[in-house]
Structures are given as C-alpha cells and as structure tokens.
A and B are shown apart, each in its own frame.
Chain A
Amino acid sequence: MARIELRNVEKRWGAVWGVRGVNLDIAEEEFVVFLGPSGCGKTTTMRMIAGLEEPSSGEILMDGENMNGVDARDRDVAMVFQGYALYPNMTVYENIRFPLRMRKVPRSQHDALVRRAAEMVQLTELLDRKPGALSGGQRQRAALARAIVRQPKVFLMDEPLSNLDAKLRQHMRVQIRHIQRDLRITTVYVTHDQIEAMTLADRIVVMRSAEIQQIGTPDEIYNDPANTFVAGFIGAPPMNLVEGGIEGGVFRAPGLEVPLPGRGDLGRVILGFRPEDCAVSMDGGELRGCVYGVEPTGDVTYLTLKAGERLIEIKADRQFRAPLDSPVQVALDPARLYLFDGETGRRIR
C-alpha cells in the first residue's frame, strides 16, 4: 500500500519522446487508470514505475523514497501483463508460487498463500494444469493470482483484459475491482478502453503523444473535459465537435445555430455536445439536418445526422425510426454544451 509520486518524469530515446513532463501523485490504495491511444506513453510510464525502464529525467518516489536506479525486483510491485506472461513450463500452482520462491517467503507458507490467491480468482480446480491447457480467461486469472499472492505494495496492470471477449472482460472488470478493494493495494492500470477506465478508476489520467492531457475522476473526465482530445476520446459514441464562430451571442455553423447568451464574439471555436445530451424534436431545435443513418440496438437508437458536410451522432429514443434523408431537428441541452478554442483545442470556460 504505497503512495507513488512522479516528479517531472520524462523518457526519451534519441529524438523520440516516450513520456514528457509527467507529474502525478497517486494516493495509498487508490486505483488510477492511464488511458490513451496506442503510443501515448501510458505503458512506458507504468514500466518506469515498475522499474523495467529507467526515466531519462525526473523522479519516481514510493512512500517518499526515490526509486530511480532501484531494480524492478527490489520495488515490491507486482505486474499483470497484456500477454499474461505465464511461465509455460510451470503449472498454474508453480506460476503462482514463483514470486514467493523468488522473494524467499518461508516455504511453509507457500501452499496456503497459493491456494488463497487461487481461491480469490476462482482457479482452485486448475492448479495442476500448465498455461497451455488454459483458456484466455483462465490464463488471465492465473496471472492475476500470481500478482496478488504476495500482497505487494503496488499492483501494475498493463491492458490485462485486452485479449478477452466482451462478456469475459465485463466479468473480469468487476473481479479486479473487487480484489483491489479487498486487498486495498495501490493500483495503476493501463488501458485504451474508456469503458474499463470509467468503470475501474478512482482517477483517470488521460494521455496523448507522451503527455498528460487531464487527470480527474471518471465523472470529471466525462463531464468536464479539458480539451477536444479528452472530449472526443471519452464516450461512445464520442462527443460531437462542431467548428464554427460566435457572433452576437449565437454560435453558428452549417445547420446549427445555438444561442449562447452572454458570450462575446469569437472567430473560431468548437462547440461540443454529447450524443445523449440531445433530443430529436418535431417542433424545432438548434440543429437541423437530414437522416444519414439509423441504428436500433434495442435499448437505444443511434441516429446519424448530416448537417452541412458534417455527420452528427445522436442517441435517440429506442423506438425512434425515420427514413433516410428525411429532415430532422434536434434540440440541445443548453446546460451540457462545451466550448473549445478553435486553435488550441483547450476548453473555454
């Protein structure tokens, strides 16, 4: 149960930046998720915390102690890898026991600890099997059991669910959260899946191009995005971002006129609104366009609207149906509109 501090941590390989100017405090027992697209630096940051990569500059502290130069095996962290990284020559039992042997935990305790870890991930029946004889989900649970068996100070999880199917992923998300709560171990989790981030995290760190874009709780990230990248990355479908200008207190773009009382004139801005913060309306709305696509999914109908040359995503009522190319008007929730700078993409508050 450690407190982790990253102080201006940077990693570069020649002219290529892996991580740039990362400052972050992770509290004891906190569950922090690094979220971002491939190559954004999230895994590199995690590997530096693990001690598998050395930062080019900056400091990594655990419980106030500088970890720079400390080998991975001396950091008391446990890591779950994307490819599980189970030792193929050992049985599940031996895999789970491996960290205990390496860290010289008294032999008499091994069996009880291994069985307790296996029990937590419901793997007791499969302890005699080799990893090759396990399904993806079972391997994932074996890797998880190996990480929790010795109760480390920090859990590091690098996209551990990315190789599982959707149903199993949902089940494992719940299990991981449950285990973390039970063991109360500080956890850093890397993913590019925003659902995983939103459901698991106490706080999310959104990264892009080696830099942190925003740090906040899932609610803050979703409801109060700092820039167009965060706004567009979180949410499925993501936030609609429409470029236009404000003149006389009205935002104007092709097919869209939104009154923004009290706003001064701005030449180039981006208006953002989420698909769920709109309502299809028969008697008028700020957004006018024609139906480009209708996708009923059972609980909700996704409506794609063409306004000018732009496609807008709307979450409509599950019973909504309309012929293609028919005119539609959409009312936007004035309390749920976001304005961003047209040049920098930063939020205008």
Chain B
Amino acid sequence: MASLRTTRRDSRLLRYLILGTWALVCLVPVAWFLSIGLRPRVEIITPRPIYWPTFSLDAWHMIWEDWPMARYLRNSVAAIFGSVLIDLVLAIPAAYSLARYQYRGRDDIAFYILSTRMMAPAIVAIPIFFLFRSLGLLDTVWALMIVYAAINLSLVTWIIRSYMLDIPKELEDAARTDGASDLRILWEVIVPAIRPGIITASVIAMIFAINEFLFTLLIASTPNAYTMSVALANFTGGSDGVIYNAIALVAFLAFLPVFLVVLLIQRHLSRGLTMGAVKG
C-alpha cells in the first residue's frame, strides 16, 4: 500500500517536473524580452555578461513619448477585433450551410474555401495593393481589417464547421418542430452550443492577425494605419540603429493582449480544442 502511494506521489512529481520545464521553456523568452525592454540601451549591447541588470524605463518612455505607440496599439486592436468580427459574421452562416444543407458540390466548395489558405500570400500581394488603391482604402485600418478577415476566413469557417458537425441533428429537428426558422435555429440553438468552437476559432484568428506583417507593411504607409507588428520594424533602422530595448518592449506589448485573452478563456479554449476532435 505504502509503495503504491509512493509510486503515485513519484508520478505526480514527475508530471509537475515535466510541466514545469515546459512552462519554463515557454516563459523564458517572454521574461527575457521583458527584461531587455526594461534595461538601459547601453547595457543590452555590452559584450560582458551582466548578472544584475539595471532597471530602466527609458524604452517605455521612448515608445510612448517619441513614437505614437498608443495609436499603433489602437490600430492593432481595431484591425484585429474588427477582422475577427467580420470572420464570425461570414463564417458562421457559411459553416452552417456547409455542415447541414445538402447541395451539389458542397464538399468541393468546402475544400475550395480551405485551399485558399494554402496559397502563398505574396502571390496576391500586388493585386491586393491595387485593389485597395482603387478603393481608396490604402493606409487605413479598414483595409487591414478586411485583409486580416480574408486571410483567416477559411480557417475560421473550417473550425466552426467541424464543431457544427458534432452537434446532434436531433437538436435542430427539435427546434424546427418547436416552430423555429433556420435563422432562429442557427442563432438560438447552434451558436450557443458551439461557443467553445467560436472562441477557439476567434483566438486562432486573433493570433494570426496580430502576427501578420506582409500585408500590413504593404497597406500601411504612415502611422495612420501602422500596427504593433509594423511598428517593431521602425526600431530597426534609421540613424539610431537597432533599438533593442524598444523592440523587446513593443513585442511584449503586442504579445500581452492575446495572452490575457487566452488566459481569461482558457477553460473554453481547452474544451474547444478537443471538442471537435472526437465524435460523440
């Protein structure tokens, strides 16, 4: 009995050890660039190792006072949340149609939607540039919103569709005999039932959007539409050279919102990531 208890305790210790190591691997880079961001610039480029770094808010003051960082942050948040909203508005009905209605070519359409994700982004970069120029949307957050939404739409549609396929058909039949229209069924029965899937798809879309660089650089040419990811590039050139502590701090600030969102909804997210995997 005692040996059984010991084995159990050992296995639990081992589990904590593995998880702790993994957490460390994930957190060290974050902690590292936070520590870089909160040090004076001179200390970062010194060749000698520093064991007790000096705390400094130089980079913090610099990014907020010398650069319109608040604006970049606002642009990022608007473009990201706006794009996710557009994705959900378009993807939910599309996914419902692909998951539930029978029509010719349905599976081909589903595959076509996913295949757009397989294309190298550079292929459409120039047409997109001309398209937005014709629409007069270059250098606007609206254009970023639309581009991010377009990039993620296929993925969001597929994730949501896989969750919808797991919803028992009986639930819709019940709602239909209860007198609900297709739209009411979608809104009142299906959407609440796949909430974990919607959250999962949104977070994934958010992560992709916040990391998007190529199209942002193409569309945004002034601080009017710069986002955090493009703002990072501003600290790499010019007469000041590479400003490492500012880059690290902006990278940390770009990472923080998604991290907080994931932290807040992690219960739904972990359920959501596995819910679509196994048919009930």
Chain B, residues 180-223, CB within 8 Å of chain A (1/0): the string is 11001000110011010000000000000000000000000000
> Is A229 an interface residue, CB under 8 A from the partner?
no
Please tell me if the beta carbons of B173 and A85 are within 8 angstroms of each other in the complex.
Answer: yes
Give the residues in chain B near A135, CB-CB below 8 Å.
none
- Rounded to whole Å, the gap between the CB of A118 and the closest CB of chain B is 16
The residue on A at minimum CB distance from B178 is: A99
Number of interface residues of B (CB under 8 A): 18
User: Which of B174, B184, B189 touches A79 (beta carbons < 8 Å)?
Assistant: B174
| Whole-angstrom CA separation of A156 from B188 in the bound complex | 23
Whether A102 contacts B174 in the complex (CB less than 8 A), given A85-B168, A89-B192, comes out as no
User: Which of A52, A73, A75, A88 touches B181 (beta carbons < 8 Å)?
Assistant: A73
Give the residues in chain A near B189, CB-CB below 8 Å.
87
> Is A270 an interface residue, CB under 8 A from the partner?
no
Please tell me if the beta carbons of B168 and A72 are within 8 angstroms of each other in the complex.
Answer: no
- Interfacial residues, chain A to chain B (CB-CB below 8 A): 47, 50-52, 71-73, 75, 77-79, 81-83, 85-90, 98-99, 102-103, 146, 156
Q: Majority SS of interface residues in chain B? A: helix
Whether A73 contacts B180 in the complex (CB less than 8 A), given A83-B168, A89-B192, comes out as yes
Give the residues in chain B near A83, CB-CB below 8 Å.
168, 170
- Rounded to whole Å, the gap between the CB of B47 and the closest CB of chain A is 60
Please tell me if the beta carbons of A87 and B171 are within 8 angstroms of each other in the complex.
Answer: yes
Please tell me if the beta carbons of A50 and B178 are within 8 angstroms of each other in the complex.
Answer: no
Whether A73 contacts B173 in the complex (CB less than 8 A), given A83-B168, A88-B193, A102-B184, comes out as no
> Is B175 an interface residue, CB under 8 A from the partner?
yes
Whether A73 contacts B170 in the complex (CB less than 8 A), given A89-B193, A102-B184, comes out as no
User: Which of B168, B171, B177, B184 touches A78 (beta carbons < 8 Å)?
Assistant: B177
User: Which of B170, B171, B177, B192 touches A72 (beta carbons < 8 Å)?
Assistant: B177
| Whole-angstrom CA separation of A86 from B168 in the bound complex | 11
> Is B176 an interface residue, CB under 8 A from the partner?
yes
Give the residues in chain A near B188, CB-CB below 8 Å.
87, 98
Please name 25 pairs of A and B residues whose Cβ atoms are closer than 8 Å in the assembled complex, sorted by A.
A47-B173, A50-B173, A72-B173, A72-B177, A73-B178, A73-B181, A75-B177, A78-B177, A79-B177, A83-B170, A85-B168, A85-B171, A85-B173, A86-B174, A87-B171, A87-B174, A87-B175, A87-B188, A87-B193, A98-B178, A102-B179, A102-B180, A103-B179, A146-B174, A146-B178
Please tell me if the beta carbons of A72 and B174 are within 8 angstroms of each other in the complex.
Answer: no
Chain B, residues 89-101, CB within 8 Å of chain A (1/0): the string is 0000000000000
For B178, B181, B184, the residue with the greatest tally of chain A CB atoms inside 10 Å of its CB is: B178
**Top 8 nearest A-B pairs by Cβ distance?**
A102-B179, A89-B192, A85-B174, A99-B178, A85-B170, A103-B179, A79-B177, A72-B176
User: Which of B174, B180, B193, B195 touches A81 (beta carbons < 8 Å)?
Assistant: B174
Whether A81 contacts B170 in the complex (CB less than 8 A), given A87-B189, A89-B192, comes out as yes
Please tell me if the beta carbons of A78 and B173 are within 8 angstroms of each other in the complex.
Answer: no
Please tell me if the beta carbons of A79 and B173 are within 8 angstroms of each other in the complex.
Answer: yes
| Whole-angstrom CA separation of A122 from B278 in the bound complex | 36
Please tell me if the beta carbons of B170 and A102 are within 8 angstroms of each other in the complex.
Answer: no
- Rounded to whole Å, the gap between the CB of A86 and the closest CB of chain B is 8
Using a CB-CB cutoff of 8 Å, which residues 97-137 of chain B contact chain A?
none
The residue on B at minimum CB distance from A81 is: B170
Please tell me if the beta carbons of A52 and B171 are within 8 angstroms of each other in the complex.
Answer: no
7 additional contacts (CB under 8 A) given A51-B177, A78-B177, A85-B170: A47-B173, A82-B170, A85-B174, A87-B175, A87-B188, A88-B192, A146-B178
The residue on B at minimum CB distance from A98 is: B178
The residue on B at minimum CB distance from A104 is: B179
| Whole-angstrom CA separation of A78 from B176 in the bound complex | 10
